Structure 1
Amino acid sequence: MDTRIGIIPVPVFVLLFALLAGFTYTGDIKGDISMMIAVLVIGGFTCAEIGKRIPVLRSIGAGAIFATFIPSALAYYKLIPPQIEKSIIEFTKYTNFLYLFIACIIVGSILGMDRNVLVKGFVKIFVPLALGSIAAGVVGTLVGTLLGLGAHHSFFFVVLPIMAGGVGEGAIPLSIGYSEILHQPQGDVFAQILPPIMLGSLTAIILSGLLNYVGKQYPSLTGEGRLQPAEHDDMDSTREEVASETGGPMDVSTVAAAGLAAITLYLMGVMCHRLFGLPAPVAMLFLAVLAKLTSAVS
Structure 2
Amino acid sequence: MLLVYTHKLPNNVMGAYGLMFILGIVFGEIGSRVSFIRNWLGGGPIMCIFGPSLMIYFGMLPPESIGLMKDFMKGSPSFFNFFITFLICGAMLSISRRILLQSTLKFLPTVLAAIFGGCILAALGGLVTGYGAVKAVMLLAVPIIGGGVGAGALPLSQIYSQTAAMTTEQMLSVVMPAVVLGNILAILFAIALNRIGKKYPGLTGNGQIMKIDDSELRTALENEKAHRESIPVSIEGLGVGFFISVTFYLAAFAINRFLVPSVHTFVWLILLLTIAKAAKVLPESLEVSTIHWSQTWVKNLLFAALVPIGIAYMNMEQVIAAVSNPAYVIISILTVLGSLLGAGLIGVVLKLFFVESSIAGGLCMANMAQTGDLATLAAAERLELLPYSAYASRIGGSIVLVLAGLLVSAIGLGM
The corresponding residue for 1:225 is 207
The 5 A counterparts of 1:76-115 are: 76-94=57-75, 95-115=77-97
The RMSD of aligned alpha carbons is 3.6
Partner residue of 1:211 out of 196, 201, 204? 196
What secondary structure is seen at the aligned counterpart in 2 of 1:297? coil
Secondary structure in structure 1 of the residue aligned to 2:61: coil
Q: What's the counterpart of residue 188 of structure 2?
A: 202
**Alpha-carbon distance in 1 for matches of 2:282, 2:114:** 31
- Cα deviation digits, residues 143-202 of structure 1 (max 9, x gap): 4653343433333202x15xx6xxxxxx4xx634654686779xx799552321112221
User: Is 1:47 aligned to 2:32, yes or no?
Assistant: no
Deviation, 1:122, is 4.0
2:273 paired with 1:288: yes
Find the partner of 1:69 among 33, 50, 57: 50
% identity of equivalent residues: 19
Is the 8 Å Cα contact of residues 74 and 80 (structure 1) preserved in structure 2? yes
Measured in 2, the distance between the counterparts of 1:239 and 1:283 equals 28
Equivalent-residue separation in structure 1 for 2:249 and 2:68 (angstroms): 25
Residues 103 and 263, structure 1, Cα contact 8 Å, conserved in 2: yes
Judged with a 3 Å threshold, the aligned counterparts in structure 2 of structure 1 residues 256 and 198 are, in CA distance, closer, same or farther, namely same
Q: Distance in 2 between matches of 1:266 and 1:89?
A: 25
TM-score by length of 1: 0.69
In structure 1, stretches of 5+ residues that fail to align are 1-19, 165-170
Aligned-partner SS, 2:35: coil
Aligned to 2:310: none
What does residue 282 of structure 2 align with?
A: 297
For 1:28-177, what aligned pairs fall within 5 Å after superposition?
Answer: 28-60=8-40, 61-94=42-75, 95-122=77-104, 129=110, 132-143=113-124, 145-146=126-127, 147-148=131-132, 149-158=135-144, 160-161=145-146, 171=148, 175-176=150-151
Q: In structure 1, what is the Cα distance between the partners aligned to 2:20 and 2:274? A: 31
Q: Deviation string for 1:244-267 (max 9, x for gaps)?
A: xxxx99623322223323432442
Checking the alignment, whether the CA contact within 8 Å between 2:143 and 2:152 is kept in structure 1 is: no
Q: Aligned residue pairs: how many? A: 255
2:227 pairs, out of 214, 237, 240, with 237
Deviation at residue 93 of structure 1 after TM alignment: 3.5
State the Cα distance separating 1:286 from its structure 2 match.
2.9
Alignment partner of 1:254 is 2:235? no
State the alpha-carbon separation in 1 of the partners of residues 67 and 25 from structure 2.
Answer: 20
- Take 2:251 and 2:107, find their aligned partners in 1: how far apart are those partners? 26
1:145 to 1:286, Cα distance in 2 relative to 1, 3 A: farther
Query: 1:52: how far off?
Result: 1.0
Sort the Cα spacing of 1:255 and 1:130 in 2 relative to 1 into closer, same or farther, 3 A: closer
Paired AA for residue 157 in structure 1: P
* Match of residue 277 from structure 1: 262
